[in-house]
A and B are shown apart, each in its own frame.
Chain A
Amino acid sequence: MNKINVRQTGVIIVMCIFANKILLMPSLMYEQTSADSIFVLITLFLLDLAMLPIFIWLKNSYPDKKFYDILKDKLGVVITKIIYLALLCFFFFKCLLVFSITYVYFKQQIYHNEFIFMALIAFLPVINHAVLCGVRTFARTIQLFFGIVIAGFIICLIISLFTPIAAPYFFVSNASQFFSSLYNHVFSFGDFIILFLIMDRIEIKKGQAKHLYFYSLFAMFLVVTLFYLFYAKYQITAFMHNNALADLLVFSVQFNAIGRLDIIAMLTIMFITLFQMEIFNYAFCDCFVNIFPLLNKNYSVVVFDVLFCILYYVFIGRYETMVTSTLFWLPYLAIVINYILPLVMVLILIIRRRGEKKNKSNL
């Protein structure tokens, strides 16, 4: 009953792929690898995309089983809880990063003198409500606004074409810069992990898996286009512009006279951020409930809110600290979650297949 179809899964993937990549990341990457950041981005996307067939294989092998139960059966309770604790931290920090980047953006654009709790009060109740209503509810909400979000995104890209752009220089970074950039930005990827957590809620009928590839490739294409246009427009000063999607609209002399075109970017970013936070909050709560089975979702939501406020305001609220953390120590966590966990799942699936073959031959 409370299941989502493949299209709703697709829109969730699109929102996750946009997460942390459309505002700050292009300029952060440019500092390290100039326009070659596009190759870093494509490489990370390809690594991410490799997770999708693993997920589909797992889903086909265990159609109605929870991810937690699969891990518990194969790896035992303790290891499963450790993995879920890592996942909980992973999604919590992702949510925190999404919020802090968007908060700084809106503070620059509109709310110069507003304080953080005003933003938290506006965001937290909505995302908490979405989590309590369940994955189907927020997936349908995202589906409802999906067209508007994508239209806003594409308009931002198109408007940038009316300003002078020149092809950026490629192949200016060395291998060391390339790989260190891969490492530093890996935390902002791993967008398909959410699918593993909600795999028991997803309904994929025969032949529908291709839709997931379509949505993923579509979102990746939009992000790569954004990077390309951003670098083509700003080139050497790309490192100065921290809000890529919005800056494509704002910083053009031609459109200076028209007025506040940036409202398109603001609305798009607002919706995307809200949906991303809902998804990550849901993932956090799901992990929390599985780690502490005696506590229900209401507790998990409260824990999330308290932790969020404390960590944001007391420690990570300093924007630079948050961004530096995602570049230097959070990538360790991301490598475990993004690459080691799917590999473990592949091993589980291979062992299962061998077991099935053995059983068949014994019969």
Chain B
Amino acid sequence: MKRKIKVIFKMPMMIILIIILLFFTPFAIYSPGENRNRGVVTALGIDRLGSEYEISLLTFIPTANQSYQEKSSVISGKGASVAEAVYNAQIAMGRAVGLAHAKTTVVNEDLLNEDVTSTIDYLSRVASLPENTVFICTNKSAKEMLESSHDLVNNLGLKLEQIVGYNASNLYVTDTSLEAFYKGYYSPTKSSLIGYLTIEDDANKSEENSEISQAQNTSEGQSEGTQGSSNSSSGSSGAQGKHIVNQGEAVLLKEGKKVAHLDVDQLNGINLLNPKSVNQIVTIDDVEKNGQTLSMQYKIKTKKTLITTKFENNVPIFVAHLILGVELVEINGTHENLKVNTEFSEVSKEIADKIEAKIKEQFTASLKVLRECDTDVIGLARTFFFNNRKEFMKFVEELGGKEEVDKFIDYVVFKLNTVIQPD
């Protein structure tokens, strides 16, 4: 045994191992747990209060319990700069801020009146805010948003980043992460799109509801369709009586500043060329069927797109062939005697024309906004650069060089060839 120990200690690697152990073990024993020094931030909110910034942190403090329930709270700090506000939030929390797990970053809409990157820059470059954080904007203060989301988690188990999850995959042309924002920001057209959630007071909501119910009473049975979907949580206790409403909206940014607010119809218009974006509802009115006038709603279930680009006489032409598989999902109108027959699964020429007209109208309206703001979030410049580089570069030179590439969208002629067929 003695000999064996001697042999082991003759090995230099063993001596090195012992030295390392001697050095690190006291550190490991006497170091406090990481959660005593560092607060895990799961969501971050940034507000502008006059000349000051307010940073709100939805922090999760790991503690031992038997209910598996996370104990989280919103802690905030104010300062003349973002760095100072984070520092003050750290003091308030009594821990260093760890942003590596921040899955959501919310900014107040007012911050988008100036280049938002100046605000975000410190967080992403210095404070290690991950670029895959969901980056969204809200109408009221970001702090209120975090407080409301805190209630959402407690009541429904629904996290803030999950609320915009559907929007990110179906409505926005890109995901709504900080990375996607930066990609747009640093692109030649300097345009990006981020998600938008609103906060509503429960008091206002109840007033609106009472107005709606009054209107419903006076319209004698006519059904009132709500505009857009609203994924809301009213939370019984309520974060100071406020709740988050998701109406599928987004904010269009140019050079980090807000230039337009897009509703769900405009987003659907922008997404017409996006093959991943499906499930939109298209409503067509005044359809004559069996002697009745109906309003019909079709869901776009499948989408195939073939895009070609060309220059004709120095005019950029964008040709999109769309094959849309649609399904009739609802019929509105006086149809007491109407049976839902298979005939309605067929798409007649009249219906196809109406759907085509409707989606083209949506697309034109969205394009108008993009052109007015010189924003190219649908990647037109990229597509032309990829497909017709020589002509594109020549065209951009004639426009006034690379700096003017964002105006390229104004000159593109769109040709949409659509085939509407039952899915």
The chain A residues found within 8 Å of chain B, CB to CB, are 108, 112, 121-122, 125-126, 129, 132, 164, 167, 169, 234-237, 240-241, 250-253, 256
Contact = CB atoms under 8 A, between A and B. Distances in A.
9 contacts: A121-B23, A125-B19, A126-B16, A169-B386, A236-B186, A237-B183, A250-B130, A250-B132, A253-B168
A356 B177 CA distance: 68
Contacts of A125: 16, 19-20
A236 B187 contact: yes
B132 A253 contact: yes
A251 B132 contact: yes
Interface string B248-266: 0000000000000000000
Given A121-B23, A169-B386, A256-B103, A240 B182 contact: yes
Contacts of B23: 121
Contact of A251 (B19, B130, B161): B130
B414 interface: no
B12 A235 contact: no
Interface string B115-135: 000000000000010111010
B340 interface: no
A237 B186 contact: yes
A301 B396 CA distance: 60
B13 A122 contact: no
Nearest to B389: A171
Nearest to B16: A125
Contacts of A236: 183, 186-187
Q: Give the secondary structure class of B's interface.
A: helix
Nearest to A255: B132
B179 interface: yes
A108 B16 CA distance: 27
Interface string B282-305: 000000000000000000000000
B100 to A, nearest CB: 8
A126 B15 CA distance: 11
A241 B125 CA distance: 10
Nearest to B134: A253
Contact of A253 (B177, B182, B183, B186): B177
B175 interface: yes
Contacts of A252: 132
A253 B13 contact: no
B385 interface: yes
Interface string B154-180: 000000010000001000000101010
A237 B134 contact: no
Contacts of A234: 179, 183
A129 B13 CA distance: 7
A104 to B, nearest CB: 12
A11 to B, nearest CB: 21
A125 B103 CA distance: 39
Given A132-B12, A235-B183, A121 B20 contact: yes
Interface string B360-394: 00000000000000000000000001100000000
B183 A169 contact: no
Contacts of B128: 108, 112
